[in-house]
């Protein structure tokens, strides 16, 4: 065998050095393909989840103090409202009607076809189905600080929303009722800060 190698211009060392290099090339290709496959599978799984099921949001501002603070990291449930209607007390994420590229976080106060009245710094709701509804609003820290008197009757796809920190909130008192088409979902999980981690935070 040694003679045949010499006649062909090859020796044992050539075989020993070339074989590992070829093996390295195959290994690298396999590793690259595995990485591409993993990335594709991740996209296939993650994109639909973020688009239709859940999405992360970061709270900016103080409009929901003390329930949510600036910097809170939230996961928003985007699928529940496909099967169930939003309820009073839900904390929701929605596109700002005046600029849909922005997202707001507020609490639902009035439901479709109800009449919301703000008078003498008191919020009251009248439902055509249940009559007068008293709001406990235990989550409010500045409950007695409200703007001018307001009375609005909602249509069958409108909601009246307000921030828990009423003096610092731009909400339905300022720009009117919120159409359901703008609602992204409700707050499902708070991940940060770690000390306040929990499921359905702030829901009443």
Encoded tokens for 108: 């639902």
- In CATH, which superfamily holds the domain spanning 59-199? Umud Fragment, subunit A (2.10.109.10)
In angstroms, the CA 152 to CA 65 distance is 25
Q: Where are the domains of the chain?
A: 2-51, 59-199
Residue 41 has pLDDT above 60, yes or no: no
- pLDDT of the residue at 149: 87
Say what the pLDDT of residue 15 is: 42
Closest CA to 170 of 61, 92, 24, 7: 61
Give catalytic status of residue 106 as yes or no. Answer: yes
Is residue 26 within a helix (H) or strand (E), and if so which, with residue range?
helix 12-48
The structure's pTM equals: 0.73
Helix (H, G, I), strand (E, B) or coil at 39: helix
Residue with tokens 């929605």: 94
Q: Residues 27, 37, 63, 172: which is the catalytic one?
A: 63
Is 170 among the catalytic positions?
Answer: no
Catalytic residue among 21, 80, 85, 106: 106
Percent of the chain with pLDDT over 90: 49
Q: Would you list the DSSP string of 93-141?
A: EEEETTEEEEEEEEEEEE-TT-EEEEETTEEEEEETTTEEE----TT-S
């Amino acid at each position: 065998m040694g003679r045949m190698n010499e006649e062909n211009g090859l020796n044992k060392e050539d075989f020993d050095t070339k074989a590992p290099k070829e093996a390295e090339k195959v290994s690298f290709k396999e590793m690259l393909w595995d990485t591409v496959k993993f990335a594709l599978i991740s996209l296939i799984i993650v994109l639909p989840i973020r688009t239709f099921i859940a999405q992360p949001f970061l709270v900016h501002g103080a409009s929901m103090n003390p329930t949510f603070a600036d910097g809170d990291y939230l996961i928003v449930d985007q699928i529940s409202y496909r099967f169930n209607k939003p309820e009073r007390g839900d904390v929701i994420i929605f596109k700002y009607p005046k600029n849909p590229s922005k997202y707001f976080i507020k609490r639902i106060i009035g439901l479709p076809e109800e009449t919301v009245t703000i008078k003498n710094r008191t919020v009251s709701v009248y439902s055509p189905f249940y009559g007068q509804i008293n709001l406990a609003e235990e989550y409010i820290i500045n409950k007695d600080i409200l703007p001018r008197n307001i009375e609005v009757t909602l249509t069958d796809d409108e909601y009246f929303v307000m921030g828990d920190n009423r003096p610092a909130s731009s909400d339905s008192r300022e720009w009117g009722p919120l159409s359901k088409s703008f609602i992204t979902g409700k707050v499902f999980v708070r991940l940060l800060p770690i000390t306040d981690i929990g499921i359905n935070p702030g829901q009443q």
